[in-house]
Structure 1
Amino acid sequence: MALETNKPSFGVLDDVKVVYAAVELAAPKACDLMADWGADVTWLENTGAGDTIRDTAYVKQAERRNQRSVSMNYFSDEGKEILFKMLADADVFIEASKGGTWARKGITDEVLWEINPKLVIVHLSGFGQSGDPKMVKRAAYDLTVMAYSGYMSQNGTQEQPMNPGPYAGDYFNSLMIVSSTLAALHKANRTGKGESIDLAMYETLLAIGQYYLVDYLNEGILWPRPGARNQNLCGIGEYKCNDGFLGVCLYGVDQNKYFLETIGLGHLWGTEDIPEDTSGLWLANPHAAEIEAAFEAYCLEHSKYEIEADFAAHRIAAQVVMEFEDLVKEEHLKLRDDFMDWETEDGKTFKGLGVFPKFQQTPGQVWRPMPKQGGDTADVLTKLGYTADQIAALNESGVVKVAE
């Protein structure tokens, strides 16, 4: 199918133009979100194999919809000229690389602001644009910044730290990119002056992981890795039932009283160790091991659905751990239209997710599927003023790549 090249008017970011140069997940996912919300997004790919997301079977279709693909060597002299023309009327430029890469290629913030003084520039890297030179220049992936940030060390078991998946470090950073970009854009629109954001992935994870880090900074407390339980409280974690797993988050006076009665330990309520105003059943309590053992035994004797329904009726937060096959059958997701289908460029039906969150007055939408590598190169360059002969010459010389 021939893809539409003129973005329809929709979404809360309808007047925002974004250009980005990055591969795989963190920065592209941020741009995917903004594209779903109406931003005009151009994805810069190299002229070789392109974005490594293209090696995946399906997620590429989910996270590169609503975007244009321009394949080019943006570090060549002619490529820089094209890039500068693209950024002349852009609102946001996002690049992901080792710290200082673009500046070493002669594309500094100051050069870009000479072209567009209001431009918001986001430099995404694993370890930042400044600091220890050996860290600034170090390659980074989701797992390695998770390891460096201390976030990984808080997850897993006593014997083995584990990386939360899938690619949580990347996706946490996607949200930081979106939020900081829109904050800077607000300032640029108000003052007429652009902004440069030095976004180090590990610092995002420091911020996300500070819940227990500050206990260490202030008192030297090191909480153990909890595995499938909570570091501090009883009745919080993932519990095995006779037909699967249940996630439970127990907290509150009435909730604790009912919980103890249900698992056969109601006699502990109102005692010196667990007085009647107890809102949290702390692991420091002398009955903690007894409570956990009783609840584990109770779960093994009951259905996850039975416990979920009973706890929900008594205001205890509990949810069955959903597998993929459960998600696609779940009525609530259907009623909220969380899944949707769209047609790919080769005419196949792709099953994916809708646009989140659900803006009530100005909803997002899917207006085009993922394009081929360089699928929009000719169209974008034409709109920049290049002739067909000039585009053909640039394609022939390898400065750009035009999809066949």
Structure 2
Amino acid sequence: METSQGTGPLAGLKVIEMGQLIAGPFAAKTLADFGADVVKIEPPGAGDPLRNWRLLKNGTSVWWQVQSRNKRSVALDLRKAEAQEIVRKLAAEADVLIENFRPGALEGWGLDPQKLVEANPRLVVLRISGYGQTGPYRDRPGFGVVGEAMGGLRHLTAEPGRVPVRVGVSIGDTLAALHGVIGILMALHERQRSGKGQVIDVALYEAVFNCMESLLPEYSAFGAVRGPGGSALPGIAPSNAYLCSDGGYALIAGNGDSIYKRLMAAIGREDLGNDPALANNAGRVVRVDEIDAAIGAWTKARTVTEVLEVLARVGVPAGRIYTVADIAADPHYAARGMLQQMRLEDGEMLTVPGIVPKLSRTPGGQHRNAPALGQDTDAVLREVGLSEQQIAALKERGVIQAKA
């Protein structure tokens, strides 16, 4: 849905985004979707590299249209003192500053977050990096895939005995971004009491590790090192992907005690459903191969659709593995507003993901397309008090860039 600028639960919140690519910009996008005024600072010339990542339409990544919607773009050469002074002016009036450079980069530009907070005591600064701002690994370059590996996720995403694989998207960056947004909202809430901002330190690997469920306590208590489980959910039975007659897979989660009995009845295996030894999860885990074989034999004689229809009638959680083509054609996605239409500058329509989460009274929305590089440089600099003559001089010296 489209909304007018200045609406949403975060309307009036001023955010400076100094990150690039995924983690920092995703955090800022989430705030912008809910009404925050996000000023994105990009280097002159090519801007954020994400503008040119993956598939391009009219010279610009369609990913960019999602990641930078609702933002304003200011092009500054942060290597120059005059650009650094502009950032200080912006930070002095901002509520939030987001950055995801390697630790020490801001300090190298004379933009130490602690000093920015001293100058604006209400400022909340989110710092996202591979390994955090402290510790022996702080200076190492860290991308999402490295954080996923160190956080324990990559070891689990494989078929047993095969090479661990990516989950298919930059999940480490996104998890770090979402943890960053949580940190920002908590800091802003606390600011209402204290009147003071603070610095939030999010490490990619820690954001991933925070989602690793019982991984560490199992090791601590039992010395158990959880290994890759392929499509199954290790220690929980039955829960797996089962091959169907049309070559597709049905995901079936029959691991609740009552659900398991209904599943066994539906596939004609009441003997397994009524077996006292399989009445709870502990017993089913011991015989998971036998149970999976029974379910697999049943699904192989039916298409994915047939399997899902039967299981829906008896209340067993199940689903198909969606491709993006499935997503784009799905009526539930459409009904929930998750297939949002936006009009590009050339007049063509582009389908992009809708807004998450859904708020009943103050929902988020899109009020502005992703900006061209430097599209808002002049306007933002005027807002912090620069004159037309000063702006023109900065352009002449290559400190700033505005949209032609």
Who is 1:86 aligned against? 90
Gap regions ≥5 residues in structure 1: 1-6
Query: 1:386 and 1:222 mapped to 2: Cα distance?
Result: 59
Gap regions ≥5 residues in structure 2: 57-61
Who is 1:198 aligned against? 201
Contact 1:118 1:189 (8 Å CA) reproduced: no
Who is 2:325 aligned against? 325
Query: 1:385 and 1:216 mapped to 2: Cα distance?
Result: 58
| Secondary structure of 1:282's aligned partner | helix
Contact 2:155 2:228 (8 Å CA) reproduced: yes
Query: Cα distance, 1:272 vs. partner?
Result: 4.7
In structure 2, which of residues 178, 181, 184 is the aligned counterpart of residue 181 of structure 1?
184
Query: Cα distance, 1:353 vs. partner?
Result: 2.1
Contact 2:266 2:311 (8 Å CA) reproduced: no
In structure 1, which of residues 47, 54, 63 is the aligned counterpart of residue 67 of structure 2?
63
Contact 1:12 1:38 (8 Å CA) reproduced: yes
| Secondary structure of 1:198's aligned partner | strand
Deviation string, structure 1 residues 292-327 (Cα, Å, up to 9, x no partner): 112112111112122212222222111122222222
Q: Which runs of structure 2 are paired with 1:3-402 in the superposition (5 Å)?
A: 8-56=5-53, 57=56, 58-132=62-136, 135-158=137-160, 159-243=162-246, 244-275=248-279, 278=280, 282-285=284-287, 288-402=288-402
Contact 2:114 2:199 (8 Å CA) reproduced: no
Contact 1:37 1:365 (8 Å CA) reproduced: yes
Specify the code of the residue in structure 1 equivalent to 2:385.
G
Specify the code of the residue in structure 2 equivalent to 1:136.
R
Q: If the length of structure 1 is used for normalisation, what is the TM-score?
A: 0.92
Q: CA 1:345–1:389 in structure 2 vs 1: closer, same or farther (change >3 Å)?
A: farther
Query: Cα distance, 1:130 vs. partner?
Result: 0.9
Contact 1:265 1:291 (8 Å CA) reproduced: no
Contact 2:83 2:400 (8 Å CA) reproduced: yes
Contact 1:345 1:370 (8 Å CA) reproduced: no
Contact 1:251 1:280 (8 Å CA) reproduced: no
Query: Cα distance, 1:281 vs. partner?
Result: 5.7
Query: 1:195 and 1:69 mapped to 2: Cα distance?
Result: 25
Query: Cα distance, 1:268 vs. partner?
Result: 3.0
Query: Cα distance, 1:218 vs. partner?
Result: 2.2
Contact 2:6 2:36 (8 Å CA) reproduced: no
Q: CA RMSD in A?
A: 1.7
Query: 2:94 and 2:115 mapped to 1: Cα distance?
Result: 15
Q: CA 1:15–1:201 in structure 2 vs 1: closer, same or farther (change >3 Å)?
A: same
Contact 1:153 1:225 (8 Å CA) reproduced: yes
| Secondary structure of 2:277's aligned partner | coil
Who is 1:4 aligned against? none
Query: Cα distance, 1:227 vs. partner?
Result: 0.8
Contact 2:117 2:124 (8 Å CA) reproduced: no
Query: Cα distance, 1:156 vs. partner?
Result: 0.9
Specify the code of the residue in structure 2 equivalent to 1:350.
L
Specify the code of the residue in structure 2 equivalent to 1:12.
P
Query: 1:168 and 1:325 mapped to 2: Cα distance?
Result: 21
| Secondary structure of 1:130's aligned partner | coil
Aligned residues: 392
Specify the code of the residue in structure 2 equivalent to 1:282.
R
Query: Cα distance, 1:337 vs. partner?
Result: 2.3
Stretch of structure 1 that moved more, 300-309 or 251-260: 251-260
Contact 2:277 2:283 (8 Å CA) reproduced: no
Stretch of structure 1 that moved more, 34-43 or 104-113: 104-113
Specify the code of the residue in structure 1 equivalent to 2:348.
K
| Secondary structure of 2:64's aligned partner | helix
